[in-house]
Structure 1
Amino acid sequence: MNLTLNNGVEMPALGFGVFQTPPGETVEAVRTALSTGYRLIDTAAAYGNEREVGEAIIRSGLPREDVFIETKVWISDFGYDQTLHAFDKSAGKLGVDRIDLFILHQALPGRFELTREAYRALETLLADGKVRAIGVSNFMPDHLDALLEKATVVPAVNQVEVHPYFTQPDVRAADEARGIVTQAWSPIGGITSYRGTGTSTFDDPAIGEIAAAHGKTPAQVMIRWHLQEGRSAIPKSVRAERIVENFDVFDFELTDDQIAVLEGLDTGVRGGPEPADVTLETFGRDIPEA
């Protein structure tokens, strides 16, 4: 199942994420994902495992053009020349000449002039054919408006936290109005189980009831919800059985009523950091050379 981005590039709707996956576990996890059928791998410079993602893709034996690679520029490398160099660092670690989707990891609203310059670098990389599509992550509607005041290329993707407990309808609507694909990180609400208090999405009785009705797991129901609503989703796991389970979502369909139930679970509580709180002072870190 593919999504067509606003520049015509085809991207798998369901991908495999490696956020917080230790480098020592990344190769095996990504190899398992690729052998299962995933063809989109999402990583980031700040994750510290781009090199292992690249190694796993090589070891998989799949042709390079069969794997859609997505990675992100960290805020410490924002700025025109710095972001051009960030591409070199990421491409070098991944072992590729071209990255399929290259995105800015945060909006960095307190230093948005750096964000604009970083995005201008992405536009240059796109024009030069070094990336196939460009996008953003954790951008709120006002950040998109500010970016598009100067940008010449509309982002293809906005990767944000979306799960049944935090559905971000305003962001999703802003993306849709601009022809931007919303891509969900923490798509099955994993963040609710290790950062939240009270019920996690995995234990929610309403999600469990829908899962039972289809003979599926809560995780599979949540992933299916994203796909049916036209979003990209990038679940993560290092456990082989979970990696396989999360991909087994193409043989059932949620009803409109079931989707409405999932949408109605929104708590309005963000699990990740507030985009406005991400500053160079608090989140800056050096990204090593390739």
Structure 2
Amino acid sequence: MNYLTITGLRHLRMPMIGLGTWRAPPEEVQNSVLQALDIGYRHIDTAFNYNNEEAIGLAIEKWLEMGKGSREDLFITTKLPHIGNRSKDVEQFLKLSLNRLKLDYVDLYLIHMPFAFQMNESTMTPLQNPDGTFVLDLETDNVATWAAMEEQVRNGYVKAIGLSNFNAEQIANIYQHSTIKPSVLQVEMHAYCQQTQLIKDCRLMNISLTAYAPLGSPGAQMHFSKKYNYNLANYPDILGQPVVGRIAEKHRKTNGQILLRHLLQKDVSVIPKSTNSERLKENFNVLNFTLDDGDMEDLNNLDKGEDGRIFDFKFFAGVEKHPEYPFQNLLRKTEELA
């Protein structure tokens, strides 16, 4: 296993290959986590919003009880939800996640989104207006939220803290106003959305990168449509990209393995999601070959910049009106083309 060294109150080793669990239902994810741990995965990524922390906790508990490893062998990431992005709510939601995961601490805790919604207290889901738009919390203060995150590190409930889906300006603001610096940024990253400048910006601040949707999240479109009645035009088939296929044939690997290896060679950790046992093995076995300079250049040239972004979060109807919506540049560009 390859690792990235990240900073908290002390240095930690984060496995570069992890298991993503977004859209993994509880009835499937418990078995998937157990299979993944048996394969050799030690990094499991989840979130309060994924509604599967309890199943993941059961899997971890079972694996530990079977004597297959210790808690110290594992690297567990979860996230503060968009309904709890307030300084006063950080401890509450972290303890809820710890209780669901059956853990005393998590290795990495991320602010999941830079924006926030008002919460339905009875269901712990975002409030929605009669027209279906989400009720925004327009008083979001990410610096104050971050200070509360720092306190959880000092309390021993978290080893390291970081951000997810923040833009460069938002990250810099946290960095400048923090005592414990962000250790990891988790963002959408794949061949069509390579985040080149954001990587450079983060490295200047000693922030490591984790790529979600590294394979282009081929099942997300159905999820957007079913849950939010939202369809992204021209949803990309990155796994079917001919350049990726040609390089895969050259190395006798799958297209997915090529896409993952491309990111790993940029020192970006990856968290592909799968509940299929063969895919779990394929996604993990990407350290026994190397892409040459020509391969890397061909894959780098697939980058579409902001035009390659899949997750603009506009499936949260009305989110673009939030002052901390992170893709204002993309929004302005869309308006100019309209």
Q: Tell whether 2:179 aligns with 1:136.
A: no
> What is aligned with 2:217?
190
Query: C-alpha displacement at 1:114, in angstroms?
Result: 2.9
**2:210 partner SS:** strand
Q: Name the structure where helix makes up a greater proportion of residues.
A: 1
Conserved? CA contact 1:193–1:201, under 8 Å: no
Q: Tell whether 2:251 aligns with 1:225.
A: no
**1:133 partner SS:** strand
Counterpart among 250, 253, 277 of residue 320 in structure 2: 277
Query: C-alpha displacement at 1:248, in angstroms?
Result: 0.8
> What is aligned with 2:134?
none
Once residues 198 and 65 of structure 1 are traced to their aligned partners in structure 2, the CA distance between those partners, rounded to angstroms, is 40
When normalised by structure 2's length, the TM-score is 0.78
Query: C-alpha displacement at 1:186, in angstroms?
Result: 0.2
Higher CA-based Rg? 2
Query: C-alpha displacement at 1:81, in angstroms?
Result: 2.2
Conserved? CA contact 1:74–1:104, under 8 Å: yes
Once residues 193 and 232 of structure 1 are traced to their aligned partners in structure 2, the CA distance between those partners, rounded to angstroms, is 21
> What is aligned with 2:49?
46
Once residues 197 and 54 of structure 2 are traced to their aligned partners in structure 1, the CA distance between those partners, rounded to angstroms, is 35
Query: C-alpha displacement at 1:98, in angstroms?
Result: 0.7
CA-to-partner distance for each residue in 1:240-270, whole Å, 9 max, x for gaps?
Answer: 1111110011110011111111111012321
> What is aligned with 1:124?
151
Counterpart among 242, 253, 261 of residue 216 in structure 1: 253
Conserved? CA contact 1:192–1:201, under 8 Å: no
Once residues 294 and 183 of structure 2 are traced to their aligned partners in structure 1, the CA distance between those partners, rounded to angstroms, is 30
Residue 32 to residue 44, structure 1, CA distance change in 2 (3 Å): same
CA-to-partner distance for each residue in 1:268-290, whole Å, 9 max, x for gaps?
Answer: 3210125973859x9xxxxxxxx
Conserved? CA contact 1:23–1:52, under 8 Å: yes
Residue 242 to residue 157, structure 1, CA distance change in 2 (3 Å): same
**2:142 partner SS:** helix
Conserved? CA contact 2:56–2:101, under 8 Å: yes
- Number of positions where the alignment pairs a residue of Structure 1 with one of Structure 2: 281
Once residues 134 and 70 of structure 1 are traced to their aligned partners in structure 2, the CA distance between those partners, rounded to angstroms, is 9
Aligned CA-pair RMSD: 2.1
Once residues 177 and 274 of structure 1 are traced to their aligned partners in structure 2, the CA distance between those partners, rounded to angstroms, is 27
1:154-193 maps to which residues of 2 (within 5 A)?
Answer: 154-191=181-218
Counterpart amino acid of residue 13 in structure 2: E
Once residues 96 and 33 of structure 2 are traced to their aligned partners in structure 1, the CA distance between those partners, rounded to angstroms, is 20
Conserved? CA contact 1:182–1:231, under 8 Å: yes
Once residues 270 and 277 of structure 1 are traced to their aligned partners in structure 2, the CA distance between those partners, rounded to angstroms, is 15
Once residues 139 and 188 of structure 2 are traced to their aligned partners in structure 1, the CA distance between those partners, rounded to angstroms, is 21
For structure 1, which runs of at least 5 residues remain unmatched after alignment? Answer: 283-290
Query: C-alpha displacement at 1:153, in angstroms?
Result: 1.8
Q: Tell whether 2:122 aligns with 1:95.
A: no
Q: Tell whether 2:246 aligns with 1:203.
A: no
For structure 2, which runs of at least 5 residues remain unmatched after alignment? Answer: 117-136, 222-231, 326-338
